[in-house]
Structure 1
């Protein structure tokens, strides 16, 4: 016949598991899992330590420590089990790594410096800063240089070129992206082919 102490001990053993990382008996409520289908024998404390060590090494894409899992951990799924400061640091690191891949630029105006990202991944030059609304050249990463080609310095141009550039701006002409010549569409279809092609 089982005594009360033996049955209590048996219940505690059934409500615990042994963490595969720290090899400590831990309550089942502290068992980590991505979802109901893949629950691992790893405790919350070890998952938190794993995430912290990766973040300290500036690694933001963190794989699950379970060897045969292969899933990537996300800040949202781990938010309830990690400190809020670690969650913020991890989220910020993921944002920085995303931006560095996208090759964004900062607004070149001193009183702004807003981050600008080309989310469409299409070649672009002229764009407006989402914060200060001023025009910039996305290609050159400088304030918009109306009448100048990318890389052309205003100091290298003579007085006639400067006057012509003012005229281009006043008449709202544009430059051909292929040859750089000033052009104006007077009529006809919108499809224009550079004559130097």
Structure 2
């Protein structure tokens, strides 16, 4: 029986069977072990929400494309990559808005824009303000909401609605300052973990 040849990975410095080395991209010839590639992809996708993943070889600026990701990434990572690519593409659509219901996760295009700013979610039927991207400000027009937003109380309320999400378990509002989309509730006794997206 032929002996499997091993090579040292330039990233983790482990001896790895040659069959576990992958070419990072079709645009460069750098070969890195599958484990290091998947760790890098996981870090980029989960901590930064980044879908532009560079070759791990130092000074190589080549980005992995869709086919590279499909070939190299584990099934779970590739699904996450596709999901983030879809969300990034949707964000570029000028008429698209996400539902303001944190338990929904749906969104839709709203072609009426500011002419008819009440957007009713096709999934959960919650009303969202198209202009402000917050739950519909019942009893106030967008102009009245803008005036209220200009007051200290209104600005605080607007910032809370726009920049925080309730914990899916205990409903305490959580503020995300950056970094990973993996969240952990800070409410003592809860500490529920969830994805910000």
User: TM-score normalized by structure 2?
Assistant: 0.46
Structure with the larger RCO, 1 or 2 (CA within 8 Å, 6+ apart): 2
Q: Which has the larger radius of gyration?
A: 1
